[in-house]
Amino acid sequence: MDTTRRGFLKLVAGVAAGLALSGRRVVLAAGKVSLPLDKASELTAVGGVKAVRLGGRDLVLVRDSATIVKALDARCTHQGCIVMYTKATKLLDCPCHGSQFRLDGRPAKGPAPSPLTTYPATLSGNAVVIDLP
């Protein structure tokens, strides 16, 4: 893929993400989505979780520490059910067939055959910035 095509696809994905979240005051800039913490108060405390739909993807965001937020695709790699985070175990649990995933996406328990997709996420001021390719 040449860089022009890649740039175009990134722009299209970014616009789609922005349209999906425009009602939630999410700011978009060049493939990155900024989610203000005042619109995602669940993420202000360690262990907090927020489910969001960005750019056609179902994501789960987890505040892992004072400085770290994890962003993962919420669709189980077994058959596509939505996973849920359990603070006590620090694992993402699939309600359909019992798979579990670590916060780095790797399966901790099957039948899921592969990791959840992860996305770079950073805390920037009072927002979480997620890099969606």
Strand 100-101 vs strand 107-109: parallel, antiparallel, or unpaired? antiparallel
Each residue 1-40 as x (binds ligand FES by CB under 6 A) or -, in order, gives: ----------------------------------------
Q: Could you tell me how many residues of this chain bind ligand FES (CB under 6 A)?
A: 12
Length of the chain as a residue count = 133
* Least distance from ligand FES to the Cβ atom of residue 88, Å: 20
In this structure, are residues 15 and 30 in contact, taking their beta carbons and an 8 Å threshold? no
Q: Which of residues 56-95 bind ligand FES (CB under 6 A)?
A: 76, 78-81, 94
In this structure, are residues 13 and 55 in contact, taking their beta carbons and an 8 Å threshold? yes
